[in-house]
Amino acid sequence: MSTTELLKGAAELFPDEVVTSAHVRHLDLPFGAGRFALITLDNGLDHTKPTTFGPASLANLNLAVDQVEKEAAAGEITGVGITGKPFIFAVGADLKGVELLKEHKDALAIGKGGHEVFKRLSALAVPTFAYYNGAAMGGGVEVGLHCTYRTVSASLPAFSLPEVFLGLVPGWGGCTLLPNLIGAEKAVSVIIENSLNQNKQLKGAQVYELGIADALFEGADFLEQSLLWTAAVLKGEIVVDRPAVDRGEAWDQAVAKGRFVADSKVHGAAPAAYRALDIIAAAKNGDLQQGYDAEDQALADLIMGGELRAGIYAFNLVQKRGKRPAGAPDKSLARPVTKVGVVGAGLMASQLALLFLRRLEVPVVLTDIDQERVDKGVGYVHAEIDKLLGKGRINQDKANRLKALVTGVLDKAEGFSDADFVIEAVFEEIGVKQQVFAEVEAVAPAHAILATNTSSLSVSEMASKLKHPERVVGFHFFNPVAILPLLEIVRGEATDDASLATAFAVAKKLKKTAVLVKDAPAFVVNRILTRFMGEIQNVIDEGTPVAVAEKAVEPLGLPMSPLVLLELVGPAIGLHVSETLNRAFPDRFTVSPNLAAVVAAGKRGFYVYDSGKPELDPEVAALLKQGDVVLTEEQVRARVLDAVAQEIGLMLDEGVVAEAQDVDLCLITGAGWPFHLGGITPYLDREGVSQRVNGKPFLAPGVASVPA
């Protein structure tokens, strides 16, 4: 099948593609270097809608290459360049088109189509030049890799091969060409490490330093300088000398290192990184076509696999739903927040004070029961500001401004009389919290939001004794506050729309991913994690060895094992939350006597790390009283997943969140659960757990899976 037919067929499957044009324009190069054809990739929209490649876009590029190929063969041009619209080069394949693909052969066609078009750029009768003028990702990077030469703008903000992050491989030449250009070690760092490191982006200078681009020019006259450089290259005045690629042992070591990185991040649970590494390993022999064929197969397999579909679903949740929270009231109802009060000056309160200070840049007042605590809280914030100053994240003026904005007082009346938003982070005890809110209500303005960072208490109950319970909202952060994006915003029974809208507006300014949740025990993340951990604890208590229980959930590829997570949270807090949930739902949530014993013994975790690896602490082992029911890993896994599926099903029935999507968004942004699980419900669906437990999947086919 010809490339044209191949792309025509693919385009029919994707009628809503935002089509990128490939404009061919001719120009006379300086220094008499001849007539030159410059291709501009442009989807006709502004820079907020980056240029992408779908089948019709590829067909346009193919037509452009038809034209320049003829001109090159006829000797009418001395070279061909390719660049992007202002601020954007191209950001790769249009994922919307990938989501629509239902059949392996169609997925294969997308891979082949890209290859067939792009590789023509390396087979013209004249040299080709890519000018990475702006953001370049995925297929955008790859189209440039097929060119003879590349320049990059020092202003380029983002350059990556993010395929593995999503669940794909760089499959339009990336896996094959990049290691052949810059060596396997650097290629692995770009394709595997950066992708798995929260999709880290390269800047222009790094693209040059890695050897991906042959020249680096400042943004102000990037294209002019690139074309002058091109003229000099074509006239032989500049000779591009790239270091030879080490095709010896270093190549194998780089691939091995990539596998180690993949194991540490996804624990073998998602195939993309491994497929990419296989292709990189094979690319050692320099056989490009063999590499392209392998890329086509890998792409098609992955596109038809659940991990990628879950990955795209997760990506869209974070990028779209995370920015437009479901169920949030109209933002026009939000009241301005020009001063923030924080009740408590402990570590959590101080961290919250710092976050509000940095993001809102308004006065923040801390209060506590004695001057020493207040001073300590303010001191913590000042020390953190100094750290930011030391790292160059803020300048001296900003540090001065922030420090001047944070104060601490003992008298709530003095501190909160003009505050618009007061958040409490005091001891998790309902009576204490009610007392605190009563005191704040007595002195704060009538419009002030009273927010609680409770992780397990009822927001409605906390508000119940107030004159104005309608302004109480739950504002549940996740530790570490500065790193985890999730903020569960809890609507109490009495909470009004204006207060809720204000809470969402504040969350947006805090740059948090806000999810609206009902005032239900432990809200979303803690409830699911506690049920999950509870089942692990149950099987251990009943007699399954700790190691078996831990290993049982490894195939999920979670960021850490259950007991390591427990250690991070703190066994005492874990126990406290399980007690809360046990009171609410005694039939499903148990309080583990072994965990209680570990907490009572003052242990901070189950493991010791003397050997460098986690090993069960002998003192903990001595505390454990286990039954005699020993399960296999499969049995443990089924039991844990069944419990999670059941709990989420019940939560959706209760209306804790609007949809399963919110559960997944919470788990991704609050617990770091991986993209390849799509949070968790896509995984539960594709493994048949949802059907088994609830009699139906959480998500309709096609939402996070191959469409029917």
Partner 1 sequence: MPRTVRDVVFVDGVRTPFGKAGPKGIYHETRADDLVVKAIRELLRRNPGLDPKKIDEVAIAATTQIGDQGLTLGRTAGILAGLPQSVPGYSIDRMCAGALTAVTTAAGSVAFGAYDAVIAGGVEHMGRHPMGEGVDPNPRFVSDKLVDESALFMGMTAENLHDRYPTITKLRADEYAVRSQEKAAKAYANGKIQQDLVPISVRNTNAEVGETGWGLVTADEPMRPGTTLENLAGLKTPFRVHGRVTAGNAAGLNDGATASIIASEEFARENGLPVRMRLVSYAFAGVEPEVMGYGPIPATEKALAKASLSIEDINLFEINEAFAVQVLAFLEHYGIADDDARVNQYGGAIAYGHPLASSGVRLMTQLARQFEEQPEVRYGLTTMCVGFGMGATVIWENPHHKDAGGDK
209 makes contact with partner 1 (CB under 8 A): no
Work out the burial of residue 494: count CB atoms within 10 Å of its CB; fewer than 13 is exposed, 13-18 middle, 19 or more buried: middle
Site string for partner 1, 557-576 (x = CB under 8 A): --------------------
Shortest distance, position 228 Cβ to partner 1, whole Å: 7
Rounded CA separation 127/77 (Å): 10
Cβ proximity to partner 1: between 30 and 586 the closer is 30
223 makes contact with partner 1 (CB under 8 A): yes
**Which of 1, 25, 105, 634 touches partner 1 by CB under 8 A?**
25
26 makes contact with partner 1 (CB under 8 A): yes
Rounded CA separation 370/382 (Å): 19
Shortest distance, position 55 Cβ to partner 1, whole Å: 21
Site string for partner 1, 161-200 (x = CB under 8 A): ----------------------------------------
Cβ proximity to partner 1: between 40 and 351 the closer is 40
Cβ proximity to partner 1: between 42 and 497 the closer is 42
- Cβ-contact 101, 303 below 8 angstroms: yes
**Identity of the residue numbered 235:** K
224 makes contact with partner 1 (CB under 8 A): yes
Q: Say whether 428 is catalytic.
A: no
Shortest distance, position 29 Cβ to partner 1, whole Å: 7
Q: Is 523 left (phi over 0), alpha (psi -120 to 50) or beta?
A: left
Cβ proximity to partner 1: between 154 and 409 the closer is 154
User: Does residue 571 have a cis bond before it (omega within 30 degrees)?
Assistant: no
Shortest distance, position 465 Cβ to partner 1, whole Å: 57
44 makes contact with partner 1 (CB under 8 A): yes
Shortest distance, position 213 Cβ to partner 1, whole Å: 18
Catalytic residue from among 99, 142, 307, 441: 142
Which one of 22-30, 96-104, 558-566, 603-611 is the stretch in contact with partner 1 (CB under 8 A)?
22-30
**Which of 1, 27, 250, 438 touches partner 1 by CB under 8 A?**
27
* CA trace torsion 515, 516, 517, 518 (10° rounding): 180
What is the maximum span of the chain, computed from C-alpha positions, in angstroms? 87
Shortest distance, position 26 Cβ to partner 1, whole Å: 6
Tokens representing 191? 């394709």
Site string for partner 1, 62-101 (x = CB under 8 A): ---------------------x-xx---------------
- For 313, 574, 644, 691, the CA distances from 683, given in Å and listed in that order, are 12, 25, 11, 12
Q: Which residues pair with 83 in a beta bridge?
A: 40
24 makes contact with partner 1 (CB under 8 A): yes
Shortest distance, position 227 Cβ to partner 1, whole Å: 5
Shortest distance, position 226 Cβ to partner 1, whole Å: 9
The distance in angstroms from the start CA to the end CA of the chain is 26
Cβ proximity to partner 1: between 26 and 331 the closer is 26
42 makes contact with partner 1 (CB under 8 A): yes
Catalytic residue from among 17, 163, 424, 687: 163
Shortest distance, position 114 Cβ to partner 1, whole Å: 21
Cβ proximity to partner 1: between 25 and 393 the closer is 25
**Which of 5, 12, 30, 371 touches partner 1 by CB under 8 A?**
30
Cβ proximity to partner 1: between 85 and 471 the closer is 85
Cβ proximity to partner 1: between 227 and 651 the closer is 227
**Identity of the residue numbered 560:** M
List, in order, residues 6 or more apart from 15 with CB less than 8 Å away: none
238 makes contact with partner 1 (CB under 8 A): no
Residue the block writes with tokens 């054809």:
37
Nearest to 356 by CA among 384, 322, 324: 384
How many Cα neighbours within 13 Å face the side chain of 541? Answer: 15
**Which of 1, 73, 123, 220 touches partner 1 by CB under 8 A?**
220
Residue the block writes with tokens 């993949």:
262
Cβ proximity to partner 1: between 145 and 227 the closer is 227
- Cβ-contact 257, 188 below 8 angstroms: yes
Cβ proximity to partner 1: between 30 and 655 the closer is 30
**Identity of the residue numbered 175:** C
Which one of 218-226, 279-287, 440-448, 657-665 is the stretch in contact with partner 1 (CB under 8 A)?
218-226
Rounded CA separation 14/16 (Å): 6
38 makes contact with partner 1 (CB under 8 A): yes
Work out the burial of residue 179: count CB atoms within 10 Å of its CB; fewer than 13 is exposed, 13-18 middle, 19 or more buried: buried
Residues 598-627 that bind partner 1 (CB under 8 A): none
Q: Say whether 163 is catalytic.
A: yes
Q: SS in 3 state form for 80-126?
A: EEEEECCCEEECCECHHHHHHCCCHHHHHHHHHHHHHHHHHHHCCCC
Shortest distance, position 224 Cβ to partner 1, whole Å: 5
Shortest distance, position 83 Cβ to partner 1, whole Å: 6
**Which of 20, 21, 460, 513 touches partner 1 by CB under 8 A?**
21
Rounded CA separation 499/3 (Å): 57
- Cβ-contact 491, 463 below 8 angstroms: no
Rounded CA separation 237/233 (Å): 6
- Tell me how many residues contact partner 1 (CB under 8 A): 24
Residues 274-313 that bind partner 1 (CB under 8 A): none
For the stretch 460-491, what's the b/e string if a residue is b when 16 or more beta carbons lie within 10 angstroms of its beta carbon? Answer: bebbbebebbbbbbbbbbbbebeebbbbbbbb
Which one of 33-41, 295-303, 354-362, 381-389 is the stretch in contact with partner 1 (CB under 8 A)?
33-41
46 makes contact with partner 1 (CB under 8 A): no
- Cβ-contact 33, 78 below 8 angstroms: yes
Rounded CA separation 98/100 (Å): 5
Cβ proximity to partner 1: between 30 and 707 the closer is 30
Summarize as ranges the residues that interact with partner 1 (CB under 8 A): 21, 23-30, 38-40, 42, 44, 83, 85-86, 218, 220-221, 223-224, 227-228
Write out the catalytic residue numbers. 142, 163
